[in-house]
Amino acid sequence: MIWKKYEMSKTKWVELSATIKNEESWDSSKVVAVVELGKLVKTPAVLDEEGNVITEAVLSTKLSVDILWVEQEPSEFSAYSVNVAAGAEAHQFAGMEWNNS
């Protein structure tokens, strides 16, 4: 299994996700699991001492998706693969090590 992280527009995700689905769910011959994380926080909100928002959080303009592949990712996904810095807080699949290549 290979675990990869992706960021892309909603339109591109709709297009690519259709290539890994069958009629009812994810195609188990291609993927083990898909986690649609949505738009991640790029800059956290700033709060005052009382918990009031001083500055709103800034979200990514792209959707974040983690996919655990049965084998190698399809080539059309590779352009949207992202790297996460070692030690960064990020979604994980239990027992899996993220493939940064």
Per-residue pLDDT of 2-53, as tens digits, reads 888 899 999 999 999 999 998 889 999 999 999 998 888 888 889 999 999 9
* Any domain includes 68: yes
* Any domain includes 36: yes
* Any domain includes 18: yes
The arithmetic mean of pLDDT across residues 46-72, rounded, is 91
For the ranges 50-54, 80-84, 90-94, the lowest mean pLDDT is seen at 90-94
Which element (helix H / strand E) includes 47? strand 46-47
Q: Does 87 have pLDDT greater than 60? A: no
* Any domain includes 89: no
Q: Please give the model's pTM, rounded to 2 decimal places.
A: 0.76
* Any domain includes 99: no
Domain residues for the domain of 26 are: 2-78
pLDDT value of position 40: 82
Helices (H), the chain: 10-17, 75-78
Count up the domains in the chain and report the number. 1
pLDDT value of position 101: 52
**Looking at the DSSP assignment, which residues form a beta bridge with residue 6?**
65, 81
* Any domain includes 29: yes
3 state DSSP class of 8: strand
pLDDT value of position 44: 86
Residues 6+ apart with CB under 8 A from 88: none
* Any domain includes 95: no
Q: Which amino acid belongs to residue 45?
A: A
